[in-house]
Amino acid sequence: MSLKDQLEQLRRKGVQDISETDSQKRLNEIRVKLLGKKGPITEVLRGMKDLTPAERPTVGAYANEIKQDIAEAIDQRLHELNKVALQHRLQHETVDVTLPGRPIKTGTPHILNQMIDDIEELFIGLGYQVVDGPEVETDHYNFEMMNIPKNHPARDMQDTFYITKELLMRTQTSPNQARTLEKHDFSQGPLKMISPGRVYRRDNDDATHSHQFTQIEGLVIDKHVTMADLKGTLEVLAKHVFGEERKIRLRPSYFPFTEPSIEVDISCFACGGEGCKVCKYTGWIEVLGAGMVHPNVLKNVGVDPEVYGGFAFGLGPDRFAMLKYGINDIRQFYQNDLRFLHQFQQEAK
Amino acid sequence: MKISYQWLNQFVDTEKIDPQKLADQVSLTGIEVASVIAPDAGLKKIVVGHILSTKPHPDSDHLTLCQVDIGASEPVQIVCGAPNVAADQYVIVALPGARIADNVKIKRGKMRGEASEGMICALQEIGFSDSVVPKEFQNGIYVFPNPEPVGESVFEYLGMTDRLIDFDITPNRADTLGMHGAAWEVGAMLHKRPQFPAVEISEGNTKTSDLLNVTVENKEAVPQYLLKVVQNVNVQPSPLWLQIRLWNNGVRPINNVVDVTNYVMLEYGQPLHAFDYDKLTSHEILVRQAHDHEQLVTLDGEKCELVADDIVITDGQDPVALAGTMGGLNSEITAATKNIVIESAVFNGTSIRKTAQRHNLHTEATIRFEKGIDESSTEEALQRAVQLMGELANGQSSQGVLVGNQVIPVAKEIVVVPKHVNHVLGTEISAAQMASIMDDLGFAHQDQTDQLLVTVPIRRWDIFIEADLIEEIARLYGYDKLPSTLPVGAQTIGAFNTKQTLIRKVKKLLLANGLDEVISYALVNEQEASAFTYEQTADIKLAWPMTQDHAYLRQNLISGLLNDLQYNLARKQNDVQIFEQGNVFHKINDEQQPNEIPTLAALWSGQVSAASWLGKSQAVDFYYVKGVLTDLFENLGIADLVTYQADAAIPELHPGRTAKLLLGDQVLGFVGELHPTFQHELNLPEAYVMQLNLDVILAQDLPVLVSQAAPKYPAVERDLALIVHQQVTNAEVVNAIKAAAGKYLTNVQIFDVFTGENIGLHKQSLAYRLHFQNPEATLTDEQVTNAMAKVTAKLQTDFAAQIR
Ligand SMILES: [Zn+2]
């Protein structure tokens, strides 16, 4: 048999062996056996010395070609075997995707603070500043500066937690109107502020009363601020909190620190104004009080009411949240039952 | 006040507009209407019956068999249990199938064997409040004073088809606490001038001043005090129309004299009082301040002990009335009364309010004096009462009004500038339109160039300045017609300040670490207020707390969190991890407002990660809590500045498991476990708490952040294990390492703490990983080895450390 024939035979046999092998280990053995220094191809090539110089290059090239073919066959088979092995592995590596994940927890912001934060961000966007004020107020700021002189019925002892004759727990966030106005430099532009915080009333706690609750005060003072601006601002607020379809309605009311004074109703979000239990079949829900700042309040802080004027409003986040989420007992905000608090997780922004 | 729709129409023609519609309109332009009451709502088949004859029930000693004409072809028999039933009465009959009060249905039936074709009713049974039923009918059936058409529905005859519009007034609109004021308000809305009949009286020849003398001592507190005498009155029940007016307004009819005073009060809003002239021991009326401890038995039979701040009416000697509040029993009008004194007066509202509170006597009169009355009609109201007493009680009026004091305020003149009005409202209302609104209100005005000079009648004492008239114009023009705009003018920047930003950030970080936010009460009990504090600051106590549970201002937030923990534990919520951000209050002195310190506190109890099919739950421990704090401080950029010092100064905390937190040299707060004793007293499980003073963080100046590129050269890590005495703290070792390791040390991490017999008594083994890096070049092995040698040497010197 010629050298060439021997080589051809080796190739046929090798390729067949490779294709029949189904283990990576065996393939490596084949690689060593066929292509190694003691392998048959090397053996055959040793017989080249018997060839004529003219034959040698042809046979040599042929031998290299065979080597390459075998190596390729091994690689291809190896690839096939890897693929099968992976398939096999994947079949055994499944998880039950319906099993629960590891418990990972984030906290829930208190719903009242969610309400307050949301309203703060709305007004920040409208160019307002957020102003904090003291919870322990003086009689002077809580009442006198707000046009509620001594002997005014609104100052009855039973409504106010006094600490001393002059110090008290603020009954409203309104004193921050006076405090901010006193400091404001109108040469630097208009005053636009909201002031959220805790307020206190001398009440027995029950489903609708709480001795502590929250308020947000709003105030805009400039040379030309109108009641129409108040109406537009409250419309923006109502739509933001209670939904884009809400309409508002103003009714006459009375507050010592505004004139004119109004109560603000929103069209019922539960029935859209048709009338239902939520709105007591009127189609409207009272949500806040507002008005044009009383000239006396401006005079009290040394701002000329002939030049400056504007509006103020006061709203209760407690009431807002109770209305929006159908909460029927105000005490729930302050008892902090985790089951109550957690349900508002999805509302957090 | 409940405004009778029928009565209102006597003064202003509402053109039969539906009462509910009228009420809705009033709510939008003037006075909030709480509800419109239909007294006959839900009632049916209740008719006038005429009792033809009665005889006792054969089987009962308290039931009566009545033959009643109900307008049918034959009389029917009705069994009646009322003690006052008698033949020839015109009564209220609920027929079979009727609905009476409380939705009770009446059926044909038998009572002890006798057929009963319905029921003869008391007023309470058809929905009257017991407080308005005339005394004589309180315990029996109602009997009409005059024959009424038999068989017809009773509702009209009892005033029950009227509709009552309940005005829920704000304190400034007490002018509508009388029908006249209400008529002005409704008239203004409907553009109609109300009409009030003139008061006409015929006086006798006896001068009032011959019958009485009057002196008002305290004229400041009693700006008006007017008296008149009516002689030879015939005291009897009032006619039904007047009784209806009263009971529809919640006032019980008593007799014609008393009823007239109440009726005129409802008409004018001016409270009146009637005394029995002959019961006054002298006829020298003296109005003065009471003497301390002076006594008066009021009409309700209660004995009042007076104080010098009360105003009293005396008969020269003894009090006969508590001014503006309630009459005295000693001068009460009775059936035997012949001659009466009528008082129409104005008393200082604040004084009356305090008297009413002091003696807990809140009456229709005190409500009106407190809120104000139309001082221009005080005299007319007096004459009106005299007129009605003539008509209804045949009384003879004395001649002239006896005046103790009569100071009538002057009508105010206010300039309204239409430009101002439109400037404030953002409208374009014409001057003529404004003038027309003034006309509707009945306010006289002179139309001058660019302004109106408005004369505000005394009946609208709530109006002082132009802004008040702007409100009148706005509400009657209609708030619904206001345009809707947003403020224009100079731009302003809205942004949170540093403190607000910090508060928002720390809250977000704690939320991210699994804590729920709570809001607790700032008013707590005495123990809670001062617990968990370092310096014992003085308590701040409310002057008149509602309960001892909420009597003190909190000086810490932990007490509130513990209350929340207890609330949840009681409801089987055992894994409680909560925080609160709020103020604590530090007293300065009695005069100044306290320091309000923005504070953050948190509490951890139970499992911080829940058990699941993947593994066991993890209970909270000191190092978990410290981990949360570390994360917080790293996010605030202060982690390197905060130090933890073992601390036993707070008695409510575990002395061995509490750290005082310092930011630089300032006390930032504390973190620790509840003291086992305290925990036991409150019946709580193990819990960890922390509290931070946010002002301390705010006061910390942080350098402006300058960014650095990520390191280019590789870092080198070396581990170091050592055995030291147990009293050596981690912080001490870390500080020593940092001091000795040179400038390439970037981080030291402890990764193992171990104690055990094999390393020796009171010893501990600590293992650290040191990270070295040179930002400018690759570190050589030699550099690191040198550094480690220095560290080792220092640890050996400082702590006699045995390097492993
Ligand atoms: Zn509704």
Asked if A203 and A309 sit in the same domain, the reply is yes
The CATH number assigned to the domain holding A291 equals: 3.30.930.10
**Mean pLDDT score of chain A, rounded to an integer?**
91
Contacts of residue A339 in chain B, CB cutoff 8 Å? 571, 573
Any domain includes A100:
no
What's residue A67's pLDDT?
84
Any domain includes A106:
no
Contacts of residue A259 in chain B, CB cutoff 8 Å? 465, 467-468, 470-471
Please name the residue of chain B whose CA is at the shortest distance from the CA of residue A105.
Answer: B514
Q: A109 vs chain B: nearest CA distance in angstroms? A: 5
What's residue A34's pLDDT?
81
The one-letter amino acid at A170: R
Evaluate whether B342 touches B212 at the Cβ level (below 8 Å).
no
Please give the average per-residue pLDDT across B529-538, as a whole number: 86
Please give the average per-residue pLDDT across B738-749, as a whole number: 94
Does residue B426 surpass a pLDDT of 60? yes
Q: Beta strand A129-130 with A191-200: parallel, antiparallel or unpaired?
A: parallel
Asked if A79 and A192 sit in the same domain, the reply is no
Domain termination site, one of A23, A58, A93: A93
3-state secondary structure of A202: coil
Please give the average per-residue pLDDT across B501-515, as a whole number: 97
C-alpha angle B478/B479/B483, rounded to 5°?
A: 115
Q: How far is the CA of A285 from the centre of ligand 1 (A)?
A: 8
What's residue A157's pLDDT?
53
Q: What is the pLDDT of residues B22-79, one digit of tens each?
A: 999 999 999 999 999 999 999 999 999 999 999 999 988 899 999 999 999 999 999 9
Please give the average per-residue pLDDT across B339-368, as a whole number: 95
Evaluate whether B599 touches B583 at the Cβ level (below 8 Å).
yes
Which burial class, exposed, middle or buried, applies to B678 when counting CB atoms under 10 A from its CB (0-12, 13-18, 19+)?
middle
Asked if A30 and A144 sit in the same domain, the reply is no
Evaluate whether B559 touches B584 at the Cβ level (below 8 Å).
no
Please give the average per-residue pLDDT across A163-171, as a whole number: 95
Domain termination site, one of A47, A64, A93: A93
On whether any CB of chain B is under 8 Å from the CB of A186, the answer is: no
Asked if A89 and A115 sit in the same domain, the reply is no
Residue B489 to residue A222, Cβ atoms within 8 A: yes
What's residue B535's pLDDT?
74
Asked if A122 and A265 sit in the same domain, the reply is yes
Residue A156: pLDDT band with limits 50, 70, 90: low
Asked if A191 and A293 sit in the same domain, the reply is yes
C-alpha angle A131/A137/A141, rounded to 5°?
A: 80
Any domain includes A176:
yes
What's residue B501's pLDDT?
96
Residue B573 to residue A223, Cβ atoms within 8 A: no
Give dist(CA A279, CA B16) in Å, integer: 27
Strand order of the β-sheet with B412-416 is: B412-416, B451-456, B444-448
The verdict on whether omega for the bond into residue A260 sits within 30 degrees of 0, i.e. cis, is yes
Where are the domains positioned within chain B? 2-39+163-190, 44-158, 203-406, 412-479, 498-698, 716-803
Phi, psi dihedral angles at A159 (to 5 degrees): -95, -20
3-state secondary structure of B589: coil
Residue B494 to residue A125, Cβ atoms within 8 A: yes
Asked if A89 and A174 sit in the same domain, the reply is no
Does residue B185 surpass a pLDDT of 80? yes
Contacts of residue B471 in chain A, CB cutoff 8 Å? 252, 259-261
| Beta-ladder partners of B605 | B576, B687
What's residue B96's pLDDT?
95
Arch. (CATH architecture) of B412-479: 2-Layer Sandwich (3.30)
Structure-model confidence comparison of residues B466 and A92, the more confident one: B466
Q: Give the burial string for B157-196 (b: 16+ CB within 10 Å, else e).
A: bbbbebbbbebebbebbbbbbbbbbbbbbbbbbbebebeb
Say whether domain B498-698 belongs to CATH 3.50.50.60: no
Structure-model confidence comparison of residues A77 and B517, the more confident one: B517
Domains B2-39+163-190 and B412-479 share a fold: yes
Asked if A180 and A284 sit in the same domain, the reply is yes
Does residue B536 surpass a pLDDT of 80? no
**Mean pLDDT score of chain B, rounded to an integer?**
95
Structure token digits, residue B15: 């053109």
Q: How far is the CA of B641 from the centre of ligand 1 (A)?
A: 56
Say whether domain B716-803 belongs to CATH 3.30.950.10: no
The crossing angle, in degrees rounded to 10, of helices A317-325 and A111-125 is 110
Option in A127, A249, A252 nearest B491 (CB): A127
Distance of CA B306 to the CA centre of its chain: 30
On whether any CB of chain B is under 8 Å from the CB of A151, the answer is: yes
Asked if A118 and A80 sit in the same domain, the reply is no
Domain termination site, one of A93, A122, A139: A93
Q: What is the pLDDT of residues B666-680, one digit of tens each?
A: 999 999 999 999 999
Any domain includes A103:
no
Evaluate whether A272 touches A278 at the Cβ level (below 8 Å).
no
Alpha helices in A36-151 (DSSP H): 40-46, 56-92, 111-125, 139-142
Q: How far is the CA of B27 from the centre of ligand 1 (A)?
A: 18
Please name the residue of chain B whose CA is at the shortest distance from the CA of residue A125.
Answer: B494
Q: How far is the CA of A267 from the centre of ligand 1 (A)?
A: 8
Residue B546 to residue A203, Cβ atoms within 8 A: yes
The crossing angle, in degrees rounded to 10, of helices B730-740 and B781-799 is 140
Contacts of A35 by beta carbon, 8 Å cutoff, 6+ apart: A41, A67, A70, A71
Any domain includes A102:
no
Say whether domain B203-406 belongs to CATH 3.50.40.10: yes
Listed in order, strand segments (DSSP E) in B587-729 are 595-605, 607-609, 618-619, 642-646, 653-663, 666-674, 687-693, 716-725
Prediction ipTM score: 0.90
Alpha helices in B191-277 (DSSP H): 208-211, 240-247, 256-268
Residue A158: pLDDT band with limits 50, 70, 90: low
Residue A117 to residue B504, Cβ atoms within 8 A: yes
Please give the average per-residue pLDDT across A242-251, as a whole number: 94
Please name the residue of chain A whose CA is at the shortest distance from the CA of residue B514.
Answer: A106
Does residue B632 surpass a pLDDT of 90? yes
Residue B497 to residue A130, Cβ atoms within 8 A: yes
Q: How far is the CA of B36 from the centre of ligand 1 (A)?
A: 19
The one-letter amino acid at A105: K
Number of compact structural domains in chain A:
2
Query: Which three-class secondary structure string do you get for B626-653?
Result: HHHHHHHHHHHCCHHHEEEEECCCCCCE
3-state secondary structure of B137: helix
Does residue B495 surpass a pLDDT of 90? yes
**A 90-129 → B contacts, CB under 8 A:** 99-100, 102-103, 105-110, 112-113, 117, 120, 123-129
Asked if A163 and A218 sit in the same domain, the reply is yes
- Structural domain containing residue A10: 3-93
Which CATH fold topology does B44-158 show?
Answer: OB fold (Dihydrolipoamide Acetyltransferase, E2P) (2.40.50)
Option in A212, A226, A235 nearest B523 (CB): A212
pTM of this structure:
0.88
Q: What is the pLDDT of residues B226-283, one digit of tens each?
A: 999 999 999 999 999 999 999 999 999 999 999 999 999 999 999 999 999 999 999 9
pLDDT over 90, % of chain B: 93
Arch. (CATH architecture) of B2-39+163-190: 2-Layer Sandwich (3.30)
Asked if A86 and A192 sit in the same domain, the reply is no
Please give the average per-residue pLDDT across B608-636, as a whole number: 93
Q: What is the pLDDT of residues A19-76, one digit of tens each?
A: 888 888 888 888 888 888 777 777 777 777 777 888 778 877 888 888 888 888 888 9
Asked if A317 and A289 sit in the same domain, the reply is yes
Evaluate whether B257 touches B389 at the Cβ level (below 8 Å).
yes
**A 29-88 → B contacts, CB under 8 A:** none
The one-letter amino acid at A261: S
